[in-house]
A = this chain, B = another copy of it.
Amino acid sequence: MFHFTALVTCLALLFYFVTSFNVGKARVTFGVKAPAISGNPDFERVFRVQMNTLEWLPLFLPALWLFAIYISDAIAAALGVVWIAGRILYMIGYSRAANKRGLGFGIQASAAILLWLGALGAVTWRLVHA
């Protein structure tokens, strides 16, 4: 079973939910009424945090689970925690200024790419040795 990976998945979804919730709050704070998604740069940065998290989830979640299944539940979950931590840094930085999003972005990208590389390597190895 993959309990650690399942737990990290729940936590990643919670983080994503928070970024979505922040967009709703920012609509009120900055007076950007739905369906508009632009018009105020402070709103747009909060919106882009959610969108960017959404953009990375379909990369992160499949890579996380393939890594867990083909390599290790615990290592996958540990890299997943690093991804969430990078995402939190990215959210805090980007909410302040567009040029403060680099560090968190790099951390989460590295964690996701490691998960992807591990999954690809392990799947390929299995196919070659099957």
- Residues on A lying within 8 angstroms of B by beta carbon are 1, 3-4, 6-7, 9-10, 13-14, 16-17, 20, 33-38, 41, 44-45, 47-48, 50, 54-55, 57-59, 61-63, 66, 69-70, 94, 98, 101, 116, 119-120, 123-124, 126-127, 130
Whole-angstrom distance from the CB of A83 to the nearest CB of chain B? 14
Whole-angstrom distance from the CB of A125 to the nearest CB of chain B? 10
Please give me the residue from chain B that is nearest to A46 by CB atom: B35
Residues of B within 8 A of A94 (CB): 35
Residues of B within 8 A of A10 (CB): 63, 66, 116, 119-120, 123
Interface of A is mostly: helix
B55, A6: Cβ atoms under 8 Å? no
Contact sample, A vs B, 26 pairs, CB 8 Å cutoff: A6-B66, A6-B69, A7-B123, A13-B59, A13-B62, A13-B63, A13-B116, A14-B116, A16-B58, A17-B116, A20-B55, A33-B98, A34-B48, A34-B101, A35-B44, A35-B45, A35-B47, A35-B48, A35-B98, A36-B38, A38-B38, A54-B54, A54-B55, A57-B58, A58-B58, A58-B61
Whole-angstrom distance from the CB of A85 to the nearest CB of chain B? 19
